[in-house]
Amino acid sequence: MTEQHQHVYPVREEFAANAWIDNEKYLAMYQQSVDDPQSFWAEQARRLDWVKPPNQIKNVSFASNNVDIRWFEDGELNACANCLDRHLETRGEQPAIIWEGDEPSDSKTLTYRELHEGTSRLANALKSLGVKKGDTVTLYMPMIPEAAMAMLACARIGAIHSVVFGGFSPDALAQRVVDAQSKLVITADESVRGGKQVPLKDNVDSALTREGTEVVDNVLVVKRTGGDIDWHDGRDIWYHEVVDKQSNDCPAEPMNAEDPLFVLYTSGSTGKPKGLKHTTGGYLLHAAMTHQYVFDYKDGEVYWCSADVGWVTGHSYIVYGPLANGATTLMFEGVPSYPTHGRLGEIIDKHQVSILYTSPTAVRALMAHGDHVMDSSSRKSLRLLGSVGEPINPEAWEWFYRVIGNEQCPIVDTWWQTETGGIMISPLPGAIDLKPGSATRPFFGVRPALVDNEGHILEGATDGNLVILDSWPGQARSIWNNHERFVQTYFSTYEGMYFTGDGCRRDEDGYYWITGRVDDVLNVSGHRMGTAEIESSLVAHDAVAEAAVVGYPHDIKGQGIYIYVTLTDGVEPSDDLKKELTQWVRKDIGPIASPDVIQWADGLPKTRSGKIMRRILRKIAANEVDGLGDTSTLADPSVVEDLIENRVNC
Ligand code: WT7
């Protein structure tokens, strides 16, 4: 990508004139935020409602022998009260959530007052089921308002939610329930996406037969479809039966700023998924502030983030950020391609959406169908577009801008991670000229740097590993039950710095261009997956002796999953076996981990010490076989020739 030849989209004057932050303000505030974080964040913290305002602002150590991250540690607040109660007087009758169902005929609106009532009743119901402050509750839910209410109800009583994406398998769910030790699971009978039912309750039933899940006392079930489900008396409870009879008065529990708000599992390069622990004060401040400034959110606008609440994007930018700001947040149950590819635009017109925040994958999938998919809508209400989850290629960026945004809307390409809690690098649309494919400049308080493999900080225009030099309020504080792994994963690669796992380039203008993961993490359609997770699933199959998983460039998904499998002695390769292994992984992890390509391999390229040389496997999968680089350390070079010869076209 040569940005010299690239189009720059300057900030429009009319936009800057009405924006919260213009260029001058960005530069001044950014400078203050890094020069004097204590006073900057003390001032910003006032945007929240505190039961006890904090005097201690920032207390952080990134030293690998003592990673300790605290923000506002003597302050007290409640996240749910910040999202609901404080808006009742000024905007009680304003829509808080606009819900758009899977079927276009199915939608409803909840005002702040209604959301507050429903959440308070549910919070009382949780209490009646014995959920206490500090307990964890696992949510495995469709994209329905009850999912937001469940998160907020937990926050209201000081319980810690752990949302598990509804596309994960029973095993993946069980693993997360056990790790978090949840006594309660909240789910629905079924979810509906793209006209198809997903058997959520059935999945919970089978998850709860797994070892260690006896910790679960109750399953609270929302009736979404009325579909047929099994019922376990004494354990299962209908949501409506217990919630409807509760009082709508439930005082919000004052929480310390550093009390956990939620745990959210994500994949890393090794081992099992890790539960990132996010706390109350700093997280909420970061989510709210970025939501206002990055999306330039103005009172009364309809804002739509098309993510699922099962991911961090849904936490920060469907629920906490927008609601803390008193915004109207649109929640969509379905998929952009159902009933037709025009749906996304039709939803924008129907609800007069001003701001759309979506993924490069969604954009590329629509783009593949051609410009005419947008013919059924005008999208005149749009003012701003956002992208998240993976690098957006300039071609998709341009299409997003031209076709979806009618050349009227700036695009904010927002780089961040589950670990960062909120947006870290992104244009502020009234302040920063846009370059398609670049996440541009850091948000307030964020100090990115690029380092070489030895951890030396690199200056000027260069490529490098992306690190963050100092803490920001929304940062995850630890890995649930495993602080050592937290330190190991993020703070031991480069001493004194937070390592993101991403590679990045900085250009002459100081713009950041994220190039993708430099570790063994895949990003498939914006979903993050560890190659190790998929490999350990495969080798658990009797037919598999060894497996290696790599990503390869995929036109729509960004990355596809390419698998090399060595079969156990006596097992014959066949298409049926490929299908079986595909089903195996889907069942083990979930449909998002479906292999795109399986190649049978007699052997895998290894060093003499037995380490698989993934660099080579990645090159073969990407069909870059002329540039394999140094192969002199290979134990058996003939393995590589064999793999090249039998490469599967994709
Ligand atoms: C990884 C984090 C951020 C919430 C959703 C994903 C990649 C994310 C961008 C972007 C290039 C991006 C990175 C990052 N990523 N946003 N705008 N440009 N890459 O959160 O599942 O924790 O994944 O997604 O590789 O490390 P996540």
Annotated binding site for ATP: 389-391, 413-418, 502, 517, 528
Tell whether 28 is covered by a domain: no
Domains in the chain, number: 1
| Mean confidence (pLDDT) of the chain | 96
Tens of pLDDT along 83-127?
999 999 999 999 999 999 999 999 999 999 999 999 999 999 999
Mean pLDDT of 365-386: 97
**Which residue among 435, 479, 523 is best mutated to probe the pocket of ligand 1, counting the most ligand atoms within 8 A of its Cβ?**
523
Tens of pLDDT along 586-605?
999 999 999 999 999 999 99
Annotated binding site: 193-196, 313, 389-391, 413-418, 502, 517, 525, 528, 539, 541, 544, 586
CA-wise closest residue to 344 among 364, 325, 328: 364
Contacts by residues 367-370 (CB-CB < 8 Å, ≥ 24 positions apart): 367/395, 367/396, 367/399, 367/403, 368/555, 368/556, 369/341
Nearest residue by C-alpha to atom 1 in ligand 1: 417
Tokens of 645: 């010869």
Q: What share of the chain is helix, strand, coil (3-state, %, to 5)?
A: 35, 25, 40
CA-wise closest residue to 274 among 518, 492, 489, 69: 489
Tell whether 529 is covered by a domain: yes
Report CA(471)–ligand 1 centroid distance (Å): 18
- pLDDT at 463 > cutoff 50: yes
Tokens of 52: 């006890």
328-332 and 107-111 strand pairing: unpaired
Range of the domain at 607: 525-646
Return the pLDDT at 2.
Answer: 45
Tens of pLDDT along 144-177?
999 999 999 999 999 999 999 999 999 999 999 9
Tell whether 90 is covered by a domain: no
Nearest residue by C-alpha to atom 11 in ligand 1: 391
Tell whether 112 is covered by a domain: no
Tell whether 85 is covered by a domain: no
- pLDDT at 431 > cutoff 90: yes
Return the pLDDT at 5.
Answer: 54
Instruction: Print the SS3 string covering 488-549.
Output: HHHHCCCCCCEEEEEEEEECCCCCEEEEEECCCEEEECCEEEEHHHHHHHHHCCCCEEEEEE
- Cα 422 → chain centroid: 10
Mean pLDDT of 522-543: 94
CATH number at residue 547: 3.30.300.30
Q: What is the CB < 6 Å shell around ligand 1?
A: 266, 311-313, 388-391, 413-418, 439, 500-502, 514, 516-517, 523, 528
Tokens of 399: 């299409």
Report CA(500)–ligand 1 centroid distance (Å): 10
Report CA(417)–ligand 1 centroid distance (Å): 5
Tell whether 170 is covered by a domain: no
User: What global pTM score does this model have?
Assistant: 0.95
Q: Give Cβ neighbours of residue 425 (< 8 Å, ≥ 6 apart).
A: 414, 415, 416, 439, 440, 441, 442, 443, 446, 448, 512, 514
At 3, the pLDDT band (50, 70, 90 cuts) reads very low
Return the pLDDT at 396.
Answer: 97
Tell whether 624 is covered by a domain: yes
Strand, helix or coil for residue 89: helix
Tell whether 562 is covered by a domain: yes
- pLDDT at 425 > cutoff 80: yes
